[in-house]
Amino acid sequence: MRIIHWLFIVSAALFISGIAFIIAGARTAQAAAPAEPAAPTIVPVASVKQIMGGIVSPAATMVFESVGTVVDATGIHEKAPSTDTEWAALGASAASLVESANLLVMGDRAIDRQEFARVGKRGVRPAT
């Protein structure tokens, strides 16, 4: 009977010390939680004219001229992307066109950012 008492006491002591280790570990993890890194400061480099001429215009030209119909003396010719490479180039141009809007509103480039964002969401300019 004595052995059972000692086993009970030892197992209870191990249980309590295990709980203590769990609590201590949780407190240490909570105290050592890493702080969120600060967002890097983004400084605009290009002007609106440079973004429009270097990104928007070539990307828009690629998207607009990717599909079309040409009628000439030899007949009607349909133009459309047909290979994976052509579709990938068209997708990259479309992504450049969409992401250029983010560049235009970054920093102090856009004079009226709220108006630009509102027009961009609806897709039409309000009548003034």
In tens, the pLDDT along 60-114 reads 999 999 999 989 999 999 999 999 999 999 999 999 999 998 888 877 776 655 6
Residue 74: alpha-carbon gap to chain centroid: 47
Distance, in Å, from the CA atom of 39 to the CA atom of 18, rounded to the nearest integer, reads 40
In tens, the pLDDT along 21-68 reads 788 877 776 666 566 777 777 778 888 888 889 999 999 999 999 999
123 contacts: CB under 8 Å, gap ≥ 6: none
**Residue among 116, 88, 123, 112 nearest 102 (CA):** 116
Instruction: Find out whether 63 and 93 touch, Cβ atoms under 8 Å.
Output: yes
